[in-house]
A and B are shown apart, each in its own frame.
Chain A
């Protein structure tokens, strides 16, 4: 019980940081849409907390039963994006559902984690020990890869390279954590490496630009490199203590694009400095650690993998987003969980945290 409140407290603290940063980044923008954006985020957080409690009370073994339904729903949503998605910022990533925009790629990440957790914890009725160790390349690698590739390909096609790559990273780490033979993972890595030249030719122009700009942001300071440069300036100029709330010139004067979504970390650290940034990183670590600790205590393989997968998802999203804010990796469209404005991301993260809480609560049953 105490674990639940601890997780909720950490998550809400991060959300609070997010809301004040969204408020700050939209402060100088005119119009009702911008001025009420932080209120919407508060609404999303409130709904997220409700879902969190709901999931915390729902036995996570239900997910085991519903796995293929969830997987099917993910595919359906992704296909729906292809057919009737909303094009925004040059990419077709959003679905308009019941008055709000849903980003199915967010749902897909969690769906794939659930699917993989189930796949690697299935037991035969004849042998109750875990079979993953003895999986051959076909059952240990090819089959799950096929199941992951279908949604991942749909995501990459949107195009959302960041989420696509994230799904593959989740897949690789999940098979690693499932005790599948290590050489299989090496094989996948080598194949991926070999695919780089092919993949390069398949990238869209703006994606190539982003990679080139990442290698040298000054090649195009006003075009594709603009965001990378402005984000680095925003973070760096924050200094130790920051410029103060509502006083970050980079975000207030709109030098920094996407300052309330993907680049919220830059907005936050510009105004709150290194101390704020370090506090935020600490909170994320505590959240991730809760998931891992619960996984270690859980005997049920499905619950264990699920909790690990959710921690993994958080780790990867947080690291990639912050690294991209600091110009350490190319810019991809990944939100910072619980910080960035956006309903899909907030809801999915709270659902995932609710699942983790429930695993902690129900594990004693087994």
Chain B
């Protein structure tokens, strides 16, 4: 009896063990398997380099160079102190500092420890020589972004930094990971998915002490795709040099295709500071009241001043409110409602062309009242204001166009004639970006087509211009268009034209100045136009933040056009 119980107990114990074994190996086997893999498989990453960014002619404006990191493989090192002292003698850095770095980044014997980052080539080669005597030192080459032209086109490019939490959440599904370097602002951000490298690496098997046993797999790192921009670095440089002492922006467009030839914003920042992690310089960029990181050319919204007059001029002709022969008398001011609206001069009889040339406010008060606030708004929208242009740069501003309905809904106020008067000369709530005004000028230059500005010509050698939005014909009345264009020409050509100094420029320029008063003292200076007048190629918009009179912007335009002529770019 007792023997039988003993026998059954033995069977019971062994059965229990069998069931436990089944539960461990078959039911929970997968979980244990991953634990065992985690035990013995390590990944050693190898970084690829980001794609180059070139200008339209292939000149590299953001490339990648090799930075040398000095790495120590702890399992190969016999005496770490000896190795570090020898290393410090070669690179000229205190052994204590190296020891501190080593201790900070040490994880396991098989994982390489970076003790020094970004060593120059000469030192890297001397360390290579050191490897003959000492085991376990590795010189690892690491691609880094370089900017051969320094700050050139910094706003177009954007800067690089470690991915932040917000973007990581958004991009996790696309293979982005913590610690990845991503572009911020400019094409580096917009085309990050193409430009970014594919990191490769080794997966190795290690034993219980973390020592390398064998290589399980290798994937070579891939360079990101190259971007070719539409920007011509020479025009870009001319524009940036001209802007050097100002806050403002310059945009140069191809009038027929919308290719951005230059897009400058001042003050500029140094993107290489972000690569070098020069925290002082980075912090200064972020806290500077002049906001150097802000791209004024596309993200800034400013009242356009008199440049806006061309829209109502076309609108009034289009709706036959005035004819080119219609004249209004300018005594220096006009009574609208209960308020006296001033003109900046006394112009006497003004026709449309003359009024544009002289930027006569009274003429446009009259014209605007004939046309009405809502119609001016509609024409502004037609010419691409109040919405983004669709350029493939992030953070583009829409600007703002007021209208009677908006005022009723949001301000709970009636739209007065005075509002129309302010609106028609580009003051008040109206806001535009420099890019929008350059695009507006392109419409007059190319005979009535609204272009979509773009800045990337090719990705990875493949032309993408066909993929951009087509040019939209606005079906403008040719006669009206011709009159406005004539007015734009007279701004420069007329004796009293507001941009008369451009007459001496090497090519014929047409355009409109603007002085947008923002308070009693300061005004934004604008010049938007195109050149050459007879066979237009480029639309330009020069904007100077608190730059004073439109005259200043015209001066800058002259410099830019002259320089372009000198460099043979016209």
Which residue numbers of A lie inside 8 Å of B, CB to CB?
28, 173, 176-177, 179, 230, 232-240, 249-250, 253-255, 269, 273-274, 277-278, 281, 284-285, 288-289, 292, 295-296, 308, 311-312, 315, 318-319, 322-323, 326, 328
Contact = CB atoms under 8 A, between A and B. Distances in A.
Given A250-B36, A253-B40, A273 B3 contact: no
B479 interface: no
B20 interface: yes
B3 A240 contact: no
A315 to B, nearest CB: 5
B25 A319 contact: no
B216 to A, nearest CB: 11
A239 B208 contact: no
B464 interface: no
A322 B25 CA distance: 14
Given A274-B21, A278-B21, A236 B29 contact: yes
B13 A319 contact: yes
Interface stretch (B4-12, B53-61, B165-173): B4-12
Nearest to A173: B6
A337 B488 CA distance: 104
A237 B35 contact: yes
B213 interface: yes
B339 to A, nearest CB: 81
A326 B20 contact: yes
Given A277-B25, A295-B3, A285 B39 contact: no
Interface in B301-346: none
23 contacts: A173-B6, A176-B6, A177-B2, A235-B21, A235-B24, A236-B33, A237-B35, A237-B36, A239-B30, A249-B37, A250-B36, A253-B207, A253-B213, A254-B209, A274-B21, A281-B17, A284-B14, A285-B11, A315-B13, A315-B14, A319-B14, A323-B20, A326-B21
Interface centre among B22, B29, B206 (most CB of A within 10 A): B29
A269 B3 contact: no
Contact of B22 (A230, A232, A249, A274): A274
A322 B17 contact: yes
B31 interface: yes
A254 B211 CA distance: 11
Nearest to B20: A326
Contacts of A296: 3
B26 interface: yes
Contacts of B208: 253-255
Nearest to B25: A274
Interface centre among A176, A253, A295 (most CB of B within 10 A): A253
B7 A239 contact: no
Nearest to B206: A253
B32 A236 contact: yes
Contacts of B33: 236-237, 239
Nearest to A293: B7
Contacts of B17: 281, 319, 322-323, 326
Nearest to A320: B13
B3 A308 contact: yes
Contacts, number: 119
Secondary structure type dominating chain A contacts: helix
Given A254-B207, A326-B20, 17 more contacts: A179-B2, A232-B24, A233-B39, A236-B25, A236-B29, A236-B36, A237-B36, A238-B29, A239-B25, A249-B205, A250-B39, A253-B206, A254-B209, A269-B25, A281-B21, A292-B3, A326-B24
Contacts of A284: 14
A311 B10 contact: yes
A249 B36 contact: yes
A312 B6 contact: yes
Contacts of B6: 173, 176-177, 292, 308, 312
B18 interface: yes
A255 B35 CA distance: 12
Contacts of A269: 21, 25
B219 interface: no
A116 to B, nearest CB: 14
B28 interface: yes
A176 B2 contact: yes
* Chain B: interface size category: 20 to 34
Nearest to B2: A177
A278 B40 CA distance: 27
Nearest to B13: A319
A292 B37 CA distance: 43
Interface centre among A230, A234, A255 (most CB of B within 10 A): A255
Contacts of A237: 29, 32-33, 35-37
Interface centre among B6, B24, B33 (most CB of A within 10 A): B24
A214 to B, nearest CB: 15
Contacts of B32: 232-233, 235-237
B29 A240 contact: yes
A229 B17 CA distance: 18
Contacts of B30: 239
B117 to A, nearest CB: 31
Contact of B39 (A255, A292, A315): A255
B36 A234 contact: yes
Interface in B158-213: 205-209, 213
A288 B20 CA distance: 20
B13 A328 contact: no
A128 to B, nearest CB: 21
Contact of A274 (B26, B35, B39): B26
A278 B24 contact: no
A345 to B, nearest CB: 19
Contact of A277 (B2, B21, B40, B206): B21
Contacts of B29: 236-240
Given A233-B35, A233-B39, A273 B25 contact: yes
A328 B17 CA distance: 9
Contact of B205 (A176, A253, A292): A253
A296 B6 CA distance: 12
A149 B21 CA distance: 35
Contacts of B20: 323, 326, 328
Nearest to B30: A239
Contacts of B31: 236
Contacts of A249: 36-37, 39-40, 205
Contact of B28 (A236, A277, A308): A236
B39 A239 contact: no
Contacts of A292: 3, 6-7, 10
Contact of A288 (B10, B18, B37, B205): B10
A236 B23 CA distance: 9
A352 B367 CA distance: 119
A273 B22 CA distance: 10
Contacts of A255: 36, 39-40, 207-208
A288 B213 CA distance: 42
A318 B21 CA distance: 14
A208 B488 CA distance: 95
A332 B326 CA distance: 110
A112 B298 CA distance: 94
A278 B21 CA distance: 8
Contacts of A28: 207, 213
Contacts of B22: 274, 278
Contacts of A179: 2
A238 B31 CA distance: 11
Nearest to B38: A233
A274 B23 CA distance: 10
Nearest to B1: A179
B31 to A, nearest CB: 7
A193 B216 CA distance: 53
B515 to A, nearest CB: 74
Contacts of B25: 235-236, 238-240, 269, 273-274, 277
B36 A233 contact: yes
B207 to A, nearest CB: 4
